[in-house]
Structure 1
Amino acid sequence: MGGERVVTGLGPHASDRSRLRSVSEDDVQLRHHVVHGYRRAYRIAGEGPALLLIHGIGDSSATWVDLIAGLARRYTVIAPDLLGHGASDKPRADYSVAAYANGMRDLLGVLGIDSATLVGHSFGGGVAMQFAYQFPERTERLVLVGAGGVARDVNPVLRAVSLPGADLLLSTLSLPGMRTVTGLFTELIKRLDTDLGQDAPELLNLVDALPDATSRSAFIRTLRAVVDWRGQVVTMLDRCYLSEGMPTMLLWGSRDSVVPVEHAYGAHAAMPGSRLEIFEGAGHFPHHVDPTRFMALVEEFVETTGPADWSTERWRELLRAGRGGESESDVRMASERSAT
């Protein structure tokens, strides 16, 4: 199993600046393409091996803006706005994790990209894991950042938003004057040095990104696909053994209030050969807290690992062997796993 390490440099090629491509901010502006009749927004920049950056629920490709230009010096970087998010269409549609994985496959197909290293944050980490499960032949590596889909527990606020009446709650938060109230609450919990205080400003920005009923409806439909009042309802832990041979790195904030850092240790133990990197003091958005270290870790990981060596025969062997020592009764007792 991989261990925890700290990398503070700028990657294995940092000293050779002459080999880096220059990428301007204009190169990472939003573009659009219609897929299956829906307008999809995405950012793409650079050349070389592909990196697919998948944002979390309620977020958009803007979460990666401070990283795209840097990563695009060496790689082709694709950062989509998931359907129902950002500048992409928000139809009444299937917002399941599996559907999002299909959408990522189709976008890569439109762009002529056969395979990629997937970098998924939060809900996007769950989409990345689902993509690797559905399309292992198209997945070179996995980088999971505060990823959902590991264990059941999740922030109580997300549980509450999954309940009936959530649309009214979200619309109330956008009323004049409420931003002042929530701002004061945020300042209080920050002063109390709580984990939620680390993430509250970022989470409130996500609420601000839901300006109308259509946006709120898409957000709630996506959330309810993975969370109910008891917590997360989709987990990939039952299939993590299939990641054998898939280079995987887990990046987590030690004070993540949305997906607790304990999930990182659980995923690390369940994913053979995975590497774990903890951002001490960071919350749910380590790529915002320390983008320099984040980019260095991603670059070093890609440069020091080969793409997954996937084969149909090996996949069949892993499926037949299962998780090792697991009986049929064990499987039947696990009543809350994803069957997708």
Structure 2
Amino acid sequence: MSNPQKNILVIRLSAMGDVAMTVPVLHALKEQHPELKISVLTRAFFKPFFRDLIGVEVVIADVKGKHKGVYGLYKLARTLNKKQFYVIADLHNVLRSKILKKFIRCKRFISIDKGRKEKKQLISGKLFEQLKTTHQRYADVFEALGYKIDLNKPKFPKKIELSDKLKKFMGNTELKPIAIAPFAAHEGKMYPIHLMKEVIQELTKDYHVLLFGGGAKEIDVLNEIENTNKNTVNLAGKLSLDEEMDVISNVDVMLSMDSGNAHIAAMLGVKVITIWGVTHPYAGFMPFNQPSDYALLPDREKFPLIPTSVFGNKYPEAYKNVAGTISPKQVVQKIKSII
């Protein structure tokens, strides 16, 4: 039987970017406290994120199936109780995780402080300064449990040797590869697609562009971009998450919105340039270990209410395309400057 004093349950069920942000923190935790046995409770789709973490077990929460509702969480807790967790690190801190913790037999749990008060002040304009990063908020939970983490000297997995299948998908390997993920959950976080097309057209003169996205509408847009540009491959909808991570680990840079793809690339140690719209890095969601100048920001003099929300889901109509104040030339120059 495992030593329950060394057994930690980490809860983070969603969303994609938030789950990806746990990875470098858990990597540091395991590196600096190798005696710990760590189990991560998350959704099945996110399991590949943790593939490089030795000694970290992924436990699947099927919150839309057998673990749905209060009774489903009770059944999940019965399974978890067999593992005898000494402490629980709740990095999600939502109603579902709060209910679950009531059913788990455990001596102690600590929940993340999401900084809601400071974030509310940020979007209301009462303050405009860098708040604690989400990565540090995760680390604070473990410190409260007695396991201090230093995030300043990160280690990342090695580039994955690509399979023949992925090499075939990628195509031209003579040019340096760039990954571009032009979409986000909310329109206010996106770079206008007509400007992104200008960026891609310019980049394909010197680089091999790999496009990422998901959903039928996004795939249609990316197919059109692929068909009208040389040295461009749309990978959306063609690969598993594991395979997408393999490809991303081999690119020279990822260009992304404030979205999950940025955090996936960052956890793999890839350089990430982000384009920001109505959200702002000050809220704490800058990709891990990226210099502040890798974040391209809209003109706040013209749009002083930025950030209008933490997640990009609320903004005045006039702010929908604020990212468009960043010129395609700025984007291209930034990419070229770091490759």
Structure number with greater CO (CA < 8 Å, separation at least 6) is: 1
Greater gyration radius: 2
| Normalised TM-score (structure 1) | 0.31
